[in-house]
Amino acid sequence: MKGRVLIVAGSDSGGGAGIQADIKTVTALGGYAATAITALTVQNTLGVTAVHAAPVEIVAAQMQAVLDDIGADAIKTGMLGDVATVEMVAATLDRHARGIPVVVDPVMIAKGGHALLAADAVDTVCALMVPRAALVTPNAPEAEALTGLAVNDVDGQRRAGERLCALGAGAALVKGGHIAGDVICDVLVTAEGAQVFQSPRIATRATHGTGCTLASAIAAYLARGESMAEAVRLAREYLMEAIRRAPGFGAGHGPVDHAWTTRERR
């Protein structure tokens, strides 16, 4: 049975992003989620107020424990935090996860503006994680930081995606949620070319954890054997519906409804 996803990311005490969103997403899509927690964050819908990083050797040990026993059909990385953690995760992938597709969500800044990746670690993510990625999923500001290119429109997204593929990524999904407009365009760049996915922008505050959720949904579909383009399409559909059904919790950027698929199956 396929569907095992190892998630390497930080914990969100508010439950809307990070490991919590990842586990909910993979489970809601019928997969099995295992985790390696990189950091504890103190946060809610209003923002992040503290971060406590896990020792790098414990991050690596969590990954190895899962991969040596349970195994994984896909791996998703999220918040890595600093250079030492990025280096350890990359090395552990090389030792224990050869041949497993890795979805790299280069988490840099929380929705409320708190930095989740040290400034000096951006180049390390570029050098070590992007080449190990079957797919890298930056939003527009993250794509600009990783490539040095302006990402203000679909052409900019395509160029950034091409640059990320040139840096070694198997594919790049450059997301357009941060680009103004009534329609959100996400651009998937692969060796076959570029594909644009469009959806109407939903007027809502429920955008907390959307990047984590999308990347984990893609990983869940890849773990089930879907092609890259189909995994992206299905994951976007899942996320859009989760946003539409958001429960309205919190006074800030609220969480989406990760569990809507479980109610559909009843």
At the top level of CATH, which class does the domain 4-264 belong to?
A: alpha beta
Q: What residue ranges do the domains of the chain occupy?
A: 4-264
Residue bearing tokens 């600093």: 82
Question: Quick one: which of 39, 38, 8 has its CA closest to 23?
Answer: 8
Given 170, 176, 211, 254, the catalytic residue: 211
Given 81, 207, 213, 254, the catalytic residue: 207
Given 209, 213, 248, 254, the catalytic residue: 209
Residue 148 annotated among the catalytic residues of the structure? no
By the 8 A CB rule, do 179 and 152 touch? yes
Question: Quick one: which of 69, 79, 108 has its CA closest to 7?
Answer: 79
Residue 111 annotated among the catalytic residues of the structure? no
DSSP state of 191: T
Given 27, 77, 212, 254, the catalytic residue: 212
Cα(43)–Cα(57) distance, integer angstroms = 25
Given 85, 210, 213, 254, the catalytic residue: 210
What pLDDT sits at residue 1? 64
- The DSSP line for 51-105 is EEEPPHHHHHHHHHHHHHHT--SEEEE---BSHHHHHHHHHHHHHH-TT--EEE-
Residue 170 annotated among the catalytic residues of the structure? no
**What letter represents residue 145's amino acid?**
A
User: Which tens digit of pLDDT belongs to each residue from 20-34?
Assistant: 999 999 999 999 999
Q: Which residues of 220-236 are buried (b: 16+ CB within 10 A; e: fewer)?
A: bbbbbebebeebbbbbb
Residue 211 annotated among the catalytic residues of the structure? yes
What pLDDT sits at residue 115? 76
User: Which tens digit of pLDDT belongs to each residue from 75-103?
Assistant: 999 999 999 999 999 999 999 999 999 99
What pLDDT sits at residue 116? 80
Secondary structure class of 259 (helix, strand, coil): coil
From first to last of its 266 residues, the chain has per-residue pLDDT tens of 689 999 999 999 999 999 999 999 999 999 999 999 999 999 999 999 999 999 999 999 999 999 999 999 999 999 999 999 999 999 999 999 999 999 999 988 876 677 788 888 899 999 999 999 999 999 999 999 999 999 999 999 999 999 999 999 999 999 999 999 999 999 999 999 999 999 999 999 999 999 999 999 999 999 999 999 999 999 999 999 999 999 999 999 999 999 999 986 65
What pLDDT sits at residue 110? 73
What pLDDT sits at residue 266? 52
Given 175, 176, 190, 254, the catalytic residue: 175
